[in-house]
Amino acid sequence: MSSSTETIQEIADQAYSAGFVTDIESEQLPPGLNEDTVRFISAKKKEPEWLLEWRLDAYQKWLGMVEPTWAHVRYPTIDYQDIIYFSAPKSNADGPKSLDEVDPELLATYEKLGIPLHERAALAGVAVDAVFDSVSVATTFKDRLSDAGVIFCSFSEAVTEHPELVKKYLGSVVPVTDNYFAALNSAVFSDGSFVYIPKGVRCPMELSTYFRINAAKTGQFERTLIIAEEGSHVSYLEGCTAPMRDENQLHAAIVELVAFDNAEIKYSTVQNWYPGDEDGKGGIYNFVTKRGKCAGHHSKISWTQVETGSAITWKYPSCILQGDHSVGEFYSVALSNNMQQADTGTKMIHVGKNTSSTIVSKGISAGKGIQTYRGLVKIMKSAEGARNYTQCDSLLLGDQCRADTVPYVEIRNNTAQLEHEASTSKISDDQLFYLTQRGIDPEDAVNLIINGFCKAVFKELPMEFAVEAQKLLEVSLEGAVG
């Protein structure tokens, strides 16, 4: 980890730095959701009949479901008829062949975000499948990846180019009826990313997608599917920023991962959506279903997330450890400042023999933030010799925030070994005084302490992401400690 204190000053005075709105003509539906909406989206994307049927089926099931209320979050009722379900930048109609053809204003947006696609991506050796609103507009490094046999493309493209793969795996990890938001996504998902790593291939670069919500009142329904065949390896990075808005924006994404024998998927997220202002006005509602299936023996799925944004976070990246000796990991830093509410954690479902899982959750609450860790460790009867290690730490800044830990454990096999550690702490005056007595700015001192607190998670992130994550926490906690 590098010293980032030099850069803190630069960002110290900024408000939410990604808060701007790009003016790009959108081709969008009027607000509202019915069967025609679903048909419109499907037609717009020239989808095959089976996918339309799949969507319509999901829509029907969604109609019969109710929004979950068990999470420790409060928000005004969402009017699903007041949401725009499709919006695409018009300039994409002909499809840009290269970055030169991408709307310059869009490129400028990435610049402002610090994502100069063409240069930075190349320097970092990262392929970027940039999702702007609902349609992918630029993809780089495709050649290098295709040489290795890796498929990395937008979800829509995968539907056209690799329908057999999509058909086989879509909904195989997160069923349509898994939950209310999953059903909604299944009906109206717009676009997202698709990754396929063939047998024995180690993906030659880290894959990264920057999601961005832009058009007003546009719900974002991303869909990501990653398949790692036997003996393959992939590291996927996901980062999000969103412009400042007064209205709440709904986001209900689905991520499905499948790892076969000896395959490994590492999925890292740095999430920085607009959290709303200090009074809780605006901000993104983030209801996400992320789940990975360790289908093969000795497979491994690792989730690492740094969650600093959103007004509401409802997210439980999970692993189904089906293959014998498979491994699931969940490393999380979640921050809630001001009026933010986060109910997040994981589920580790042990099915196969000698499966093991690790959960390291670091929750930071500041302002009037509410933070809940909610985790389930389930050991099925078949999971002989399963092991789990869980560590949940909460750090409170100030006296108006709150942190709760809600661990659920279900054991149906008595050979299981489980360890659980939990702590709740505050940044002490002693620690702050010690650091400031060495000339360190109080704000930098807080950042140092928080970075220390999060170290166990940050070290799981790819290097450049770890630095970004540190910056994010610093920006997100500005003014949280006087």
Partner 1 sequence: MLQVNNLHASVEGKAILQGIDLTIPAGEVHAIMGPNGSGKSTLAHVLAGREGYDVTEGTVTYKGEDLLGLAPEERAREGVFLAFQYPVEIPGVSNKLFLKTAVNAIRKHRGEEPLDAYEFLTKLRAILAELGMEEKLVSRELNTGFSGGEKKRNEMLQMALLEPSLAVMDETDSGLDIDALRAVADGVNKLRAHDRSFLVVTHYQRLLEYVVPDVVHVLMDGRIVRSGGHELALELEERGYDWLREEAN
Site map (CB under 8 A) of partner 1, residues 162-191, x = contact: ------------------------------
CB of 447 to partner 1, least distance (A): 10
Does 399 interact with partner 1 (rule: CB under 8 A)? Answer: no
Q: Using the rule CB under 8 A, is 470 a contact of partner 1?
A: no
Tell me which of 57, 165, 431, 467 binds partner 1, using CB under 8 A. 431
CB of 393 to partner 1, least distance (A): 10
Among 441, 462, 464, 467, binds partner 1 (CB under 8 A): 441
Cβ 72 to partner 1 shortest distance, Å: 27
The span of 134-142, 257-265, 314-322, 423-431 binding partner 1 (CB under 8 A) equals: 423-431
CA nearest 260: which of 350, 323, 303, 201? 323
439 binding partner 1? (CB under 8 A): yes
> Of these, 1, 12, 78, 406, which contacts partner 1 (CB under 8 A)?
1
| 3 vs 417 by CB, closer to partner 1 | 3
Q: According to the binding rule CB under 8 A, does residue 360 interact with partner 1?
A: no
Kindly tell me which residue out of 74, 433, 463, 479 binds partner 1, with binding defined by CB under 8 A: 433
- Cβ proximity to partner 1: between 177 and 431 the closer is 431
Counting contacts by CB under 8 A, is residue 46 touching partner 1?
A: no
Closest distance between partner 1 and the C-beta of residue 391, in Å?
Answer: 13
Nearer to partner 1, 7 or 160 (CB): 7
Residues 2-31 that bind partner 1 (CB under 8 A): 3, 5-6
Site string for partner 1, 447-466 (x = CB under 8 A): -xx-xxxxxx----------
User: Shortest gap between Cβ of 431 and partner 1 (angstroms)?
Assistant: 5
How far, CA to CA in Å, does 89 sit from each of 133, 204, 310, 331, 474?
Answer: 7, 31, 24, 35, 33
417 counts as binding partner 1 under rule CB under 8 A = no
Say whether residue 437 binds partner 1 (CB under 8 A). Answer: yes
Q: Is 422 near partner 1 (CB under 8 A)?
A: no
Number of residues near partner 1 (by CB under 8 A): 27
Q: Could you give the CA distance from residue 296 to residue 263 in angstroms, rounded to a whole number? A: 8
3-state helix/strand/coil string of the chain: CCCCHHHHHHHHCCCCCCCCCCCCCEEECCCCCCHHHHHHHHHHCCCCHHHHHHHHHHHHHHHCCCCCCCCCCCCCCCCHHHCECCEEEHHHCCCCCCHHHCCHHHHHHHHHCCCCHHHHHHHHCEEEEEEECCEEEEECCHHHHHHCCCEEEEHHHHHHHCHHHHHHHCCCCCCCCCCHHHHHHHHHCCCEEEEEECCCCECCCEEEEEEECCCCCECECCEEEEEECCCCEEEEEEEEECCCCCCCEEECCEEEEEECCCCEEEEEEEEECCCCCCCCCCCEEEEEEEEEEECCCCCEEEEEEEECCCCEEEECCEEEECCCCCEEEEEEEEEECCCCEEEEEEEEEECCCCCEEEEEEEEEECCCCEEEEEEEEEECCCCCCCEEEEEEEEEECCCCCEEEEEEEEEECCCCCEEEEEEEEEECCHHHHHHHHCCCCCHHHHHHHHHHHHCHHHHCCCCHHHHHHHHHHHHHHCCCCCC
Segment interacting with partner 1 (CB under 8 A) among 224-232, 288-296, 414-422, 427-435:
427-435
Q: Establish if 434 lies at the interface with partner 1 (CB under 8 A).
A: yes
Nearer to partner 1, 435 or 480 (CB): 435
Residues numbered 80-99 forming contacts with partner 1, rule: CB under 8 A? none
- The residue among 51 and 456 lying less far from partner 1, judged by its C-beta, is 456
Q: Which residues bind partner 1 (CB under 8 A)?
A: 1, 3, 5-6, 428-431, 433-442, 444, 448-449, 451-456
